Chain A
Amino acid sequence: MNWKYGIAVILVILALFAGCTGRNEERTGQGSSGTTREQVQAQIITLNGAGATFPYPLISRWSYEYNKINPRVQINYQSIGSGGGIKQTMAKTVSWGATDAPLKESEFAKMPGVLHIPETIGAVVIAYNLPGVGSGLRLSGEVIADIFLGKIRRWDDPRIAELNPGVALPDRDIIVVHRSDGSGTTYVFTDYLSSVSSEWSTWVGKGKSMNWPVGLGGKGNEGVAGLIRQNPYSIGYVELAYATTAKMTYAYVKNREGNFVEPTIETISAAAAGAAPAMPRGDESWSDVSIVNAPGNDSYPISSFTYLLVYKDLSVIPGMTEVRAKALVDFLNWVIHDGQEYSTALLYVPLPDEVVKLNEDTIKLINYNGKPLTG
């Protein structure tokens, strides 16, 4: 009896493998299928992207609006996380990727010819729950870092009181709340703390997931917001859009010029504009790019770009034709110009003109097998 089972097992395995190969062919779309299907493909161009969750609402809005203008072009976006976006871009299984943090030097080296295109700006807000104190508590970067390092433990600490004359600070312990899931929001926040506190950058560093010295971890913006709301005397960080829609109380943060700045679309946009002159070309490494603590009187100091990743020579992606590549470039051009007007309604920060200009130059670099795609 046993050998019969063996044969059956082998047959089923073979069938499984056959199934897999069949599917691969389908995915690249290069099989010698009938003319009708090729005709359909010529009519509808589908461009798949994958990556960060943070820009997902904005990208899906773009996809919808762009499809209304160009019914032939269908933009699909899977928000699987920045890590997955980078991996899929590296494996060339998607036409474009998206990530909240720029590629690290080591990642950039593995993906020659990849371009960074900042598509929108996100900001992080320091939210707190202090009974009797509304929005506008003034905090500096050093004080925030020391709170999250566990060195400032009480709300009536003289260093907080010094920044907030006239505010009745309670005689209570601070409950620190942070994100527990890997997140671009955490990256921006810790990038900021690293830039203002040498102790933070030495002992904790910056990243999407951290080894936190103190505090409770909440899953997602909603988890952090829930913990802050339920626990009086707590402090944490959430993305701007979330803080605004959830009507949380938040701090004004001291910027590089010494002003305490409220996080708004204008102050965040000012930060990006202030940082623009120091930014690299689209095909250079962006690993050091950061707009935290950007110069400018009105710049809010805790914000960051989120990026689209596109190959300079699109012919390296399997299944990419010149027509499809041209469609992608047209979409990217639309995103950095007309697409920006959808940002504000969704509480994303539109790119300032300086960055749009930089992106225009980057998109001009995109080609198909050496042939330029912009007119």
Chain B
Amino acid sequence: MRKRFSPDTMFEFAVGAVAFTGVILLAVLLLGELVLGAMPSIKTFGVGFLFETTWDPVFEKFGALAFIYGTLLSSFLAMLIGVPLSLGIAIYLAEVASSNVRTLISPVIELMAAIPSVIIGLWGIFVFAPFMRDYIATPLAKYLGFLPFFSGPAFGLSFLTAGFILAFMIIPIVSSITREALLAVPVLQKEGALALGATRWEMIVMTVLPYSRAAIFGAVIIGLGRAIGETMAVTMVIGNTPQLAASLLAPGYSMAAVIANEFTEATGDLYLSALIEIGLILFIISILVNASSRLLVWRYFEVRDSK
């Protein structure tokens, strides 16, 4: 039994206080502030706010559906494009590449994560969007235009372009975390599989991936969190048109983008409040995504500790 006011307990107070105020209090205050700010909009539009696509600042008719749709669709596309690529990179670096190649490429990929999103956005609008229009979107619209997902016209600014840009942004994070998880797989397991006659491919599929499954899933969720919250890069390439288009080549809009675009010049209480309500919805979605990622990562560490 320790003394009541030993340095140890004091230290516990201090770090405990920081944890409580820094994290929980901040989150609660943030949520409270958002709810308070969104109140006029919540009272005026009710639940209908979530299901309405019109966004008309002049006549003060607001609905968030087009933005929620844009955020979810562009993030989903980013996952679809980015996750397989990230897994490939991670497997290559952890299992296939020689250690020289690994030490050369790994830092480069991690550096990519440090590129500011506005730079990626500018590259997106000036380089990638025209490329997208000429070499990807236009051929897609021409040859697969009979499918509703690829019906034209193709401008280069679209859900799909935003998906690609977001994929570029999540690949460094997802592939780095996944690589670490793969490297954490005990050598004994891998050697066991090889000793039983497995090829390298079978060894990866049958032992390495199942062992690190939870961590990879955690990495994907962290990437998803980044994709959902990304603002500058998306607003530059998504086209900023609030609509529920089935075509991936059509321009759209996202929640973070509309806040960034309109907040500074939003005059009028209801207008401002509607923007804050979008922030609240984004906050809730981000919390849900991050909470699930935490749970998964915790589970992963428990699995490893018990071994």
Contact = CB atoms under 8 A, between A and B. Distances in A.
Question: Do A and B bind?
Answer: yes
Contacts of A218: 240
B49 interface: no
A170 to B, nearest CB: 15
A150 interface: no
A5 B11 CA distance: 11
Nearest to A215: B241
Interface residues of B, number: 43
A182 B257 CA distance: 12
Nearest to A86: B267
Interface string B126-144: 1001100100000000000
Nearest to B236: A219
B9 A219 contact: no
Contacts, number: 120
Interface string A335-347: 0000000000000
Contact of A211 (B58, B129, B133): B58
B54 interface: yes
A182 B241 contact: no
A223 B126 CA distance: 10
A296 interface: no
B261 A182 contact: yes
Contact of B264 (A84, A107, A210): A84
Interface string A199-227: 00000111111111001111100010011
| Residue of A205, A219, A226 with most chain B CB atoms under a 10 A cut-off | A219
A175 B157 CA distance: 12
B13 A216 contact: no
A11 B266 contact: no
A209 B157 contact: no
A9 B24 CA distance: 11
A230 B17 contact: no
Contact of A173 (B61, B126, B153, B266): B153
Contacts of A209: 57, 261-262, 265-266
Given A8-B13, A8-B17, A180-B261, A205 B58 contact: yes
Nearest to A1: B12
A81 B264 contact: yes
Contacts of A211: 54-59, 61
B241 A217 contact: yes
Interface hub of A175, A180, A210 (most chain B Cβ within 10 A): A180
Interface in B182-233: none
A266 B92 CA distance: 65
A237 B57 CA distance: 19
Interface in B106-163: 125-126, 129-130, 133, 153, 155-157
Size bracket, chain A contacts: 35 or more
Interface string B1-13: 0000000010011
A104 B267 contact: yes
B58 A206 contact: yes
A82 interface: yes
Nearest to A8: B17
A216 B240 contact: yes
Interface in A1-38: 1, 4-5, 8-9, 11-13, 16
A181 interface: yes
Contact of A83 (B125, B157, B264): B264
B16 interface: yes
A141 B16 CA distance: 65
Contacts of B298: none
Nearest to B61: A211
Interface in B231-265: 235-236, 239-241, 251, 253, 257, 260-265
A209 B25 CA distance: 35
B267 A5 contact: no
A86 B266 CA distance: 10
A118 to B, nearest CB: 18
B47 interface: no
Counting from the closest, the 5 A-B pairs by CB-CB distance are A182-B265, A217-B240, A81-B264, A180-B240, A211-B56
Interface of A: 1, 4-5, 8-9, 11-13, 16, 53, 80-84, 86, 104, 107, 173, 175, 180-184, 190, 204-212, 215-219, 223, 226-227, 230-231
8 contacts: A53-B264, A83-B266, A206-B58, A207-B57, A211-B57, A215-B241, A217-B251, A226-B125
Given A4-B9, A173-B153, A181-B265, 15 more contacts: A5-B17, A9-B20, A81-B265, A84-B264, A208-B266, A208-B267, A210-B56, A211-B58, A216-B251, A217-B261, A223-B236, A226-B126, A227-B125, A230-B156, A231-B155
